[in-house]
Chains A and B, each alone.
Chain A
Amino acid sequence: MTLLDDFLIRAALAGIGVALAAAPLGCFVVWRRMAYFGDATAHASILGVALALSFDVSVFAGVLATALAMATTVSALAGRGYAMDTLLGVLAHSSLAFGLVAVSFLQGVRIDLMAYLFGDILAVGRGDLAVIWGGAVLVLALLWWRWSALLTATLNPDLAHAAGIDPRREQMVLTIALALVVAVAIKVVGVLLIAAMLLIPAAAARPFAATPERMAAIAALLGMLSAAGGLQLAFALDTPAGPSIVCLAAGLFAATSLAGLLLRRSRG
């Protein structure tokens, strides 16, 4: 496998893997207005990094556990007195703060905090690649399996009930998928930019999609394009890789939004 010896090839494959899983999940985040939810889950994962390092377990497992805990806490607390955006703001930023404080307590371990905050895609090894693609395939399989039920529950909870679908179970499926994406994406774009990989490709796909399936497919294409193109950009301009990927995705969003606007104008 001489191909995987090249760190740039490994980085590109890692970015494409994350984009592939993040884009369809990101569509649900957009449709259900869960953007802050994604942010909170991602920010909590820095606490997971600290815990994983102090208990000497894999970072992937630590992040997955805290992301899941965060997501279920938010789901459980929702609708109990606080507005959702307040609740998420409190939880997202305090878990980020606790995580950063916890990391500073770690003794004897020198960790590069920047690598977890903004990702370190160029340092992706073969083991990381296996984890990323394993997680991505798992997320895609989960979404494929529950697709119809998820869409119905997203449209209207009562409609779902009438069709024998439990909307809370579908919410749980999304929560698990979100935790998985956060856990695999932390190496690629870092905790601060994971939400961008979820939201921006999905939002960029909206103007050209007539059905939910097409929106997910276009989002996946745009996400992969951003990952591969962003890496090249970073290499050429000597800029940080994770943020470069997000910048390219934002550029694509601006372009498709403008094109969509002009298209609507010209149709009258």
Chain B
Amino acid sequence: MPEMPREARRMSSLISLDGLTVAHGGNTVLSGVSLSIAPGEIVTVVGPNGSGKSTLLRSVIGAQKPARGTITRAPGLRIGYVPQKLHIDPTLPLTVRRFLSLPDRVSDTRAAEALEQAGAGNLAARQMSGLSGGQFQRVLLARALLCNPQLLILDEATQGLDQPGSAAFYQRIEKVRQELGCAVLMVSHELHVVMAASDRVICLNGHVCCEGAPEHVASAPEYRALFGTGTQGALALYRHEHNHSHDHGCEHDHGHHHEAAE
């Protein structure tokens, strides 16, 4: 991929992060992360536990203030957000239909359309607390689709789903992307499923270890060092050998500062 001038890339992208550094009470969680997302592409962030994946997404939606660096959003960018998990207290009565009208009231037609797109067409009258894991995720997806998003953000959206369930969920995301033409930024543990559905994979461990097309990342030594070389990462070891070699393999030029990531 020819390197575009940074300014030009920022102009054409939906959102771009430049040198983003985030700290939680003195601990640096992310350091010097730069990335941008173009309209219509599916970008997946992979990384071991505690690598700052969720922090990255929370920064993108504005829930986390960066310590350093900038986040540039396209003017009027519409973001649909599917949170990692949503605990709805059983004391709070909430139908699926009412949930979709939070915080902004939507028409019945719009709600039905979004539920249909998310594959949750028959759930409108159900109580949120009575849904199964898969149904719940599809309702969250429907809610994120209400604003007709240009960028759909999913944070470990398939946690708690079994393998066929999460594979079906990612297929649905792909279908939604085709229908709406939105870009998708997601975080996942399930490398084997995600790899197939993504245009670009970013391997994160406090900093961007490597990024590129899924096949490229899967064969990059940085990625192997993080997830092992076994069955396409399906039995990945979430163990980070921090002395992995950066001398070869990854064609992207990114400054590595090991001390900053620890």
Contacts and interface: CB of A to CB of B under 8 A. Distances in A.
A157 interface: yes
A85 interface: no
A156 B86 contact: yes
Contact of B127 (A157, A163, A210): A210
A206 interface: yes
Nearest to B86: A156
Given A210-B93, A212-B93, A158 B63 contact: yes
Interface string B101-138: 01111000000000000000000000100000000000
B86 A155 contact: yes
Contact of B81 (A148, A158, A215): A158
B94 A212 contact: yes
A162 B103 CA distance: 11
Given A31-B91, A210-B127, A212-B93, A148 B83 contact: no
Contact of A149 (B87, B93, B103, B153): B103
Nearest to A208: B93
B217 to A, nearest CB: 27
A33 B89 contact: yes
Interface residues of A, number: 27
B98 A31 contact: no
Given A148-B102, A212-B98, A158 B93 contact: no
A126 interface: no
B95 A210 contact: yes
A161 B61 contact: yes
Interface in A161-203: 161-163, 165, 203
A30 interface: yes
A227 to B, nearest CB: 23
Given A155-B102, A158-B61, A158-B63, A215 B93 contact: yes
A211 interface: yes
Given A155-B88, A156-B86, A206 B93 contact: yes
A160 B91 CA distance: 20
B81 A212 contact: no
Interface in A125-165: 148-149, 151-152, 154-163, 165
Interface string B176-196: 000000000000000000000
Contacts of A93: none
B93 A148 contact: no
For chain B, what secondary structure do more than half of its interface residues adopt (helix, strand, loop), or is it mixed?
loop
B84 to A, nearest CB: 8
B86 A159 contact: yes
B102 A151 contact: yes
A140 to B, nearest CB: 19
Given A151-B103, A209-B93, A211-B98, A161 B83 contact: no
B108 to A, nearest CB: 15
Interface string A1-40: 0000000000000000000000000000011110000000
A158 B83 contact: yes
B63 A162 contact: yes
A157 B93 contact: no
Contacts of B61: 158, 161-162
Contact of A148 (B62, B87, B103, B153): B103
A211 B95 contact: yes
Contact of A159 (B81, B104, B105): B81
B98 A156 contact: no
Contact of B103 (A31, A163, A209): A163
Which residue, B61, B86, B91, B153, has most C-beta atoms of chain A within 10 A? B91
Interface of B: 58, 61-63, 79, 81, 83, 86-89, 91-95, 98-99, 102-105, 127, 153
11 contacts: A151-B102, A158-B81, A159-B83, A161-B63, A162-B63, A163-B103, A206-B91, A210-B95, A211-B94, A211-B95, A215-B93
Interface of A: 30-33, 148-149, 151-152, 154-163, 165, 203, 206, 209-212, 214-215
Nearest first, the 4 closest Cβ-Cβ pairs linking A and B are A161-B63, A162-B81, A148-B103, A152-B103
Given A33-B89, A148-B105, 10 more contacts: A32-B89, A148-B103, A149-B103, A152-B103, A155-B88, A155-B102, A158-B63, A163-B104, A206-B93, A211-B94
